[in-house]
A and B are shown apart, each in its own frame.
Chain A
Amino acid sequence: MTTAPFIQCRSLTRAYRKGATVITPLRELDLDVPAGDFVALMGPSGSGKTTLLNLIAGIDRPTAGSLIIGGVDLGRLSAARLADWRAASVGYVFQLYNLVPVLTAYENVELPLLLRRMPSRERHRRVALALELTGIADRHDHYPRQLSGGQEQRVAIARAIVADPPLLVADEPTGDLDGESAAAIMSLLVRLNRELGKTLIMVTHDPRSAAHARRTLHLEKGRLVADDRPNAEAAA
């Protein structure tokens, strides 16, 4: 018996209309990603990797084709249901962290949990655990301006995992960091994938970051041109 892939794209297409011109950053993509996989998306600018990431994250909608994640057809969800799905199923790690400057690290991490009915004690436990897992617990009462880039990204990752979503998406998570911080963040993401079983989809331009993934997809002009699995053994 074969289990259905966690992420299933069939003829996935995203097109935009810009005046009289139709731009298609993603064309008829077929892709299966099993649960717990770590996929790096690579390709030149305009290849469609961020478009694919946004579709998988549920912040954009396909123009054609289907996208089923965890058995849910995202194309059939209303805007409100899609927002609820995001809250429950996906954690997003941004290149520029996107922390709320007027909230402390703790409060930033707490934000996704405020979408759920949950006793405050349980909320506190989960935030503390997420901060602990990302190694930033000692800075829980610091504001973003008081943190380094690497520390801000740790807080952002804690925010992404605090609701325990099965899927993490990361858009250039090390793109704004120095080498040392980038390596530390990649180690953290690998741990989340290996130890917590999170399915991780990451857009990157950096081959060193991509090397941590089990699978690297190369896109060009909206099409999948290569599917490398150098670390596939590790997934087994």
Chain B
Amino acid sequence: MARLPLDYAVRNLGRSPLRAGLSVLGACLVVLLIIAAAGFVTGMSRSLRASGDDRHVILLGAGSEESIERSEIPASVGSLVAAAVPGLETSMGVPHVSAEVHVQLPVRATPDADNPRLLLIRGVTPAAMLVHRSVQITEGRFPRAGHDEIMLGSAAPRQLGLAESDLAVGSTLWIDKSRWTIVGRFAAPGTVMQAEAWTALTDLKAATKRETDSCVVLALGDAEFADIDAFARQRLDLELTAIPETRYYAGLASFFRPVQAVVWATALLIAAGGLLGGLNTMYAAFSSRVRELGMLQCLGYRRGAIVLSLVQESLLAASAGAVLASIVGLAMLDGLAVRFSTGVFGLVVDHTVVALGLAAGLALGLIGALPPALRALRLPIPESLKAA
């Protein structure tokens, strides 16, 4: 089948620069939305996945498998498990066992500031730095016990809606109604920890008037998960459950799957709206050329060749929009910090997300052009030659 030259499709875009511009812009916005949705879902999943280590096990209160924050275990669990289970990873004789308290508390920059934001505060001992190796202190030092000191993750300012300068080392924060001094900053790239504040375990317990811990996180070393699981099952008095850290965060990810589905559904609904707008534009564009399309058939061009040319025209506009959206997505959305209940995570615009955006753009161009093209060619040739 002989085709019309691509040049014909390219130049047809120039018939109405406004219409072509709107087509490109419409495709760009729809694809950008899809890239943003895909970047959100990918970023959230990746953040939760990166937060778990397959050689880490969490000991939680029985029945609290879905939320560390709701868990309560005796403060003695950390030392008991370290003594009872041989083969745990150690450094210079110190077992990699981190007893922790996780609690969300309202945080203000000043005592009278309105609208405090919730921040996950993690009470830890220095052993936490042995267990959570992705955590690197980038400025200042680890908080000392008994001094109401905290160190902030790199994404905490965004989580709190405060400027970096408000949270410099040496400045203060108000957690609940107490004054805390920022003594350090840390990074934990790609994990939920980067949106947390860490403080001394004993200080946080005192501030929250609790005696129990939330959990114990330990590194297995030569031990196996079955050893920790057996410990939890045998010590019925402690009311524990053991769960691999990766499984805990996978559970969190599945908990947020409906949210991701809603994000996708919203993006697709808006994309469908964009598609309908595109269809409308193409119906108008092609129906104004019915006589010309009839002439091309008179010359001997087959309907398939003409449909292909019209689809090429739409694909060109949609592709231009998709490429533009990909560039904007890579430049402005990739890494953009998003605050969510899991913490702060960065949107991920990687090659898969860009490929998805480009594919969506092409689909938009194809679906947006086919019905109008087929409709424009529906008339018999003599009828189309009479069209205005």
Contact = CB atoms under 8 A, between A and B. Distances in A.
A92 B8 contact: no
Contacts of A86: 297-300
A102 B8 CA distance: 8
A173 B337 CA distance: 67
A101 B8 CA distance: 10
Interface string B128-166: 000000000000000000000000000000000000000
B291 interface: yes
B236 interface: no
Interface string B282-312: 0000000001101111111111000000000
B14 A60 contact: no
B12 A83 contact: no
Given A87-B299, A111-B299, A60 B11 contact: no
A92 B294 CA distance: 12
Nearest to A102: B11
A59 B294 CA distance: 9
A146 to B, nearest CB: 15
Interface stretch (B212-220, B248-256, B378-386): B378-386
B298 A92 contact: yes
Interface in A96-130: 96, 98, 100-103, 111-112, 114-116
Contacts of B298: 57, 59, 86, 92
A134 B300 CA distance: 22
Nearest to B3: A114
A59 B299 contact: no
B interface bracket (residues with beta carbon within 8 Å of A): 20 to 34
A114 B381 contact: no
Interface residues of A, number: 28
A166 B245 CA distance: 82
B15 interface: yes
Interface in A66-108: 79-80, 83-88, 92, 94, 96, 98, 100-103
B17 to A, nearest CB: 12
A115 B2 contact: yes
B5 interface: yes
B299 A103 contact: no
Interface string B1-31: 0101100100110110000000000000000
Nearest to B13: A102
Contacts of B301: 83, 87, 115
B8 A88 contact: no
Contacts of B2: 87, 114-116
A54 interface: yes
Nearest to B5: A114
Q: Which of A57, A88, A114 has the most CB of B within 10 A?
A: A114
A103 to B, nearest CB: 7
Q: Which of B297, B298, B382 has the most CB of A within 10 A?
A: B298
A100 B300 contact: no
A88 B299 CA distance: 9
A60 B294 CA distance: 12
A98 B292 contact: yes
B300 A83 contact: yes
Contacts of A59: 297-298, 381-382, 385
A103 B291 contact: no
A60 B380 contact: yes
A112 B301 CA distance: 8
A103 B7 CA distance: 9
A80 B8 CA distance: 22
A137 B303 CA distance: 31
Contacts of A94: 295, 385
Interface in B313-342: none
Nearest to B11: A102
A50 B381 CA distance: 13
Contacts of A80: 302
B9 to A, nearest CB: 10
Contacts of A111: 296, 299
A12 to B, nearest CB: 15
Contacts of B300: 83-88, 112, 115
Contacts of A57: 298
Nearest to A14: B382
Contacts of B8: 100, 102-103
Nearest to B2: A115
Given A50-B382, A59-B381, A92-B295, 20 more contacts: A57-B298, A59-B382, A60-B380, A79-B303, A85-B300, A86-B297, A86-B298, A92-B299, A94-B385, A96-B291, A98-B294, A98-B295, A98-B385, A100-B292, A102-B8, A102-B11, A102-B12, A103-B8, A111-B296, A112-B299
Interface of A: 50-51, 54, 57, 59-60, 79-80, 83-88, 92, 94, 96, 98, 100-103, 111-112, 114-116, 159
10 shortest interchain CB distances as A-B pairs? A87-B300, A102-B11, A98-B295, A59-B381, A115-B2, A86-B300, A92-B298, A54-B382, A83-B302, A112-B299
Interface of B: 2, 4-5, 8, 11-12, 14-15, 291-292, 294-303, 380-382, 385
16 contacts: A57-B298, A59-B382, A60-B380, A79-B303, A86-B299, A88-B300, A92-B299, A94-B295, A100-B292, A100-B295, A102-B8, A102-B11, A112-B299, A114-B4, A115-B2, A115-B300
